Amino acid sequence: MVDVTRTWMLEMENIIKEFPGIKALDGVSFKVEKGEIHALVGENGAGKSTLMKVLSGVYSHGSYSGSIKVDGKEQRFQNTSDAEKAGISIIYQELSLASNMSIAENIFMGDEPVKKILIDWDAMYSRANELLVRVGIQMDSNILVKNLGIGLQQMVEIAKALRTDNKILVLDEPTSALSKSEIDVLMNLLLALKQQGVTCIYISHKFDEIFRIADSVTILRDGKTIDTKSIDSLNEDLLINLMVGRDLNQRYPQRERVHGENILEIKNYSLFDYKEGKERLHNINLSLHKGEILGIAGLMGSGRTELVSSIFGAFYGKSEGQIIIDRKEVKINSPKDAMKQGIGLITEDRKNLGIFPVLSIRENMVIANLDNISGSIMVNDSEEYLLCDQYVENLNIKIGSTENKITSLSGGNQQKVIIGRWLMRKPKILILDEPTRGIDVGAKFEIYTIINELVANGVAVVMVSSELPEVMGMCDRILVMHDGTISGELMHEEATQEKIMSYAVGGRP
């Protein structure tokens, strides 16, 4: 029996999208009611991004089969402009603002109000200020975007999306780089926009956000629609089961916590930032043992990334203090120096600093290891291919061919390629900065398992993470940072979210 009481803002029926050798979407059907917040979830590679590219006109009508209706009207988008005219706006995880332009110029880029033949600057700034108020920002719209934090930039993107008669707002992993307070602001804004009648599609791997704001959830798996359920009928365990197709009884794989001798010491370590003209780290002291996972927690801006990137020689600044590896003091002035000491770093910014998007999977994996597979004159091609194939198999990386571009992979598989890159070097110390950011729960478990295997073989791991359950579930010790210093240390068995947060804000549990 058809439910005639429901009013659909979006209907996507039997969407099929194929690439050479791959059916990315296999008959996906997806409906969103007017004025609801609808979550779209699934493992990396499930088809979420492809489906949204169909919806936004990135893939034109004719390159896929199936139908799209917006507010009851069938649509055949040939490009992104067609989708925008139909009231669809998408805010991607990687923001697309021009940093050297003002907020107003970014909001109205390509759609500037005109008086006669000239841009009406007064009207543009006035309207931009109104949009900022709508998204909860009391700020002059002539400020340059480069002077804004990530949270405010996210709000500018939303204001930009609302400048037209927006019917559907799509947010793809919008909180991956936001602090807790910024996430709270975004959540409240989306709930306010819902009251104003805006329909929202929310893509996220963070279950707490989904259960906080979503009205209903559609689950994709392997390019197919698995189910659509109201949020009230779900819990986290059921949602995970629907996403991965199996019960995931443990989020964090168990391991025996056995530590070896001390491998790394940092003594009285401080760091001055030339660019900002201020001290980033002050009097840091820490130790790390073989076979240990040392967690580093703290709020954004606490100095976590500055600490690990400077240990790797990848921070532009002046450091003071001692770095001691295997009881010998070393000087690390560049990543090359760090690599010679057996240190590897997996950066938090996979897109801009982790992968080489124009290169193949194979080239991305071996790029840090060319010195180990080179002959007297040139790279040993056969050894390169053998090594790459070996790590693809060992890490269970799901690919068609190692010669495909790395951008053809899901986020979880891209991360495995980067992990493979460093495992080839057989590091003594591996630093992981937000290793599972933007990765689904199934891929997270696989990466946790890889990390556990590393420490079982004596590798020492430093893990920086904003996800407190991840830090507590994986780490043997947890150092908490606040304002460039270590404000507290907790052993695995005594750590709680409350204690960590108390240290993170500069207090004591």
Length of the chain measured in residues: 509
Cα-Cα-Cα-Cα dihedral of 315, 317, 320, 321, to 10°? 0
First to last CA, the chain: 57
Q: Which domains occur in the chain, in start order?
A: 8-244 (3.40.50.300), 262-342+427-504 (3.40.50.300)
pLDDT, tens digit, 9 for 90 and up, residues 239-297: 888 887 765 567 788 888 878 899 999 999 999 887 777 888 999 999 999 999 999 99
Neighbours of 256 (CB within 10 A): 8
CA dihedral over 353, 358, 362, 367, signed as positive or negative? negative
pLDDT, tens digit, 9 for 90 and up, residues 302-329: 888 899 999 999 887 888 999 999 999 9
DSSP secondary structure of 274-333: TTTTEEEEEEEEEEEETT-EEEEEE-TTSSHHHHHHHHTT-S-EEEEEEEEETTEEE---
Three-state secondary-structure class, residue 57 = coil
Predicted confidence (pLDDT) per residue in 60-109, tens digit: 999 999 999 999 999 999 999 899 889 998 887 767 788 899 999 998 98
pLDDT > 50? residue 1? no
- In whole numbers, what is the pLDDT of the chain averaged over residues? 86
In whole angstroms, what is the distance from residue 239 CA to residue 431 CA? Answer: 31
Query: Are 424 and 369 contacting, i.e. CB atoms less than 8 angstroms apart?
Result: yes
Query: In whole angstroms, what is the distance from residue 421 CA to residue 210 CA?
Result: 33
Confidence of residue 5 (pLDDT cuts 50, 70, 90): low
Tens digits of residue pLDDT in 106-163: 989 888 888 888 888 999 999 999 888 888 788 899 999 888 877 788 888 888 888 8
Q: What secondary structure letter does DSSP report for 94?
A: S
Supply the pLDDT for residue 10: 94
For the record, the structure tokens of 270 come out as 């401080």
DSSP 144: B
Q: Are 436 and 426 in contact (CB under 8 A)?
A: no
Identify the burial level of 193 via C-beta atoms within 10 angstroms of its C-beta, where 0-12 means exposed, 13-18 middle and 19 or more buried.
Answer: buried
